[in-house]
Amino acid sequence: MDNVAVPLRWGILGTGWIASQFTRDLVETGHSVAAVGSRTQASADEFAARFGIPTAHGSYEALAADPDVDAIYISTPHPFHYENALLVLGAGKHALVEKAFTVNAREARQIVEFAKTRKLVVLEAMWTRWLPHMVRIREIIAAGTLGDVRTVLADHTQLLPSDPKHRILDPVLGGGALLDLGIYPVSFAWDIFGKPNSITAISTPVKSTGVDGQTAILLGYPEGQQAVLSMALDAAGPNRAAVIGTLGRIEIDRVWYSPTTFTLYAADGTELERFDHPVESRGMQFEADALERLVASGSIAGSELPPDETVAIMETLDEVRRQIGLVYPSES
């Protein structure tokens, strides 16, 4: 974390909603956005005009080949991340890949291994890992303030569009609660506890398309810790999380995976700390900063979310999908 980030020239691959959010954060926090690429020139031109980006490419290939771009943010739906990441890395650019990183661990592993051979940074855009409240939570745990950490609780439940043609319900586009919503609590559990040694999942499918509409996951760990995780796309829940230890607990306020507040309590309920750290813009700039620090340090893996952990998280999601019977068309 002590390395000074080298300002990189960013390219944006894809022009959808999440690309807009990321680009706005970069522009508002002084990052350099040099180019955008879309499947159509018209879409790229509109996006470039909206954010003041100097170059608009009418194809992903042209963006990857742009000599004025150092790193590319990949914002397309999950099933396209594999081919998009290989394109970007093959062109010699560093890659920040939206989560879920891919649709399965096999694709994730191939991307990570290819990046290693090219000595390039490939980073999963799990923005939560670098948000100030999560940085502080890791500090509290490392200091032993919670004692023996026993439990993680987290939900990511939203009321999303019910139209079967919407991306979130389309199996061809990797739809369902697990990859869009569940990746957050699963990654959070990995952040706190590491690799689980047991995985149990149940799910209720969406009748119209067969993707998972509501899924619950229980992760177990070698020393008896547990992570209790829930996700749903057809009902809005509290979207809060907690880390519970023998000496205290942390209660993370809504919405726990975005910039927010939390309270640290002692085991007797005494409030020990109230964390309230305002964040400039929406907060996605922190993941860009993380990639820039890695490039500055000459490293291709950081401690917050190394690429091998991204692959292992996808293995966890693969096992959940195996248990709930969710197979995407691209895998059949």
For residues 46-75, average pLDDT = 98
Shared domain for 141 and 42, answered yes or no, is: no
* Cβ count near 7 (within 10 Å): 11
Q: According to the model, what pLDDT value does residue 1 have?
A: 38
Shared domain for 141 and 271, answered yes or no, is: yes
The verdict on residue 308 lying in a domain is no
Residue 16 makes CB contacts below 8 A (sequence gap 6+) with 75, 76
CA distances from 224 to 141, 155, 156, 319 (A): 17, 21, 24, 20
> What does residue 330 show for φ and ψ, rounded to 5 degrees?
-65, -15
How many domains does the chain fold into? 2
Q: According to the model, what pLDDT value does residue 78 have?
A: 94
Q: What's the pLDDT tens digit per position in 111-167? A: 999 999 999 999 999 999 999 999 999 999 999 999 999 999 999 999 999 999 999
3-state helix, strand, coil in the chain (%, to 5): 40, 25, 35
Report the C-alpha dihedral over residues 300, 302, 304, 309, rounded to 10 degrees: 50
Q: According to the model, what pLDDT value does residue 2 have?
A: 44
Whether residue 199 contacts residue 154, with contact meaning beta carbons closer than 8 Å, is answered with: no
> What's the mean per-residue pLDDT of the chain?
96
Residue 26 DSSP class:
H
Q: Which position has the token pair 């799990």?
A: 126
Q: What's the pLDDT tens digit per position in 274-302? A: 999 999 999 999 999 999 999 999 999 99
Shared domain for 137 and 123, answered yes or no, is: no
In this predicted structure, the answer to whether residue 3 has a pLDDT above a threshold of 80 is no
Shared domain for 97 and 167, answered yes or no, is: no
CATH number at residue 215: 3.30.360.10
> What does residue 204 show for φ and ψ, rounded to 5 degrees?
-120, 120
For residues 228-241, average pLDDT = 97
| Domain coverage including residue 57 | 9-128+284-300
CA distances from 41 to 62, 87, 273 (A): 11, 19, 51
Residue 209 makes CB contacts below 8 A (sequence gap 6+) with 164, 169, 170, 171, 175
From CA 147, how far away is CA 244, in angstroms rounded? Answer: 9
Shared domain for 21 and 120, answered yes or no, is: yes
Shared domain for 70 and 166, answered yes or no, is: no
The verdict on residue 149 lying in a domain is yes
For residues 82-91, average pLDDT = 98
Walk across the sheet containing 149-157 and list its strands. Answer: 198-205, 212-220, 226-232, 149-157, 241-245, 248-252, 262-266, 271-275
Q: According to the model, what pLDDT value does residue 6 have?
A: 62
Whether residue 63 contacts residue 36, with contact meaning beta carbons closer than 8 Å, is answered with: yes
Shared domain for 325 and 242, answered yes or no, is: yes
Q: What's the pLDDT tens digit per position in 189-231? A: 999 999 999 999 999 999 999 999 999 999 999 999 999 999 9
Give me the percent of the chain exceeding a pLDDT of 70: 98
CATH number at residue 118: 3.40.50.720
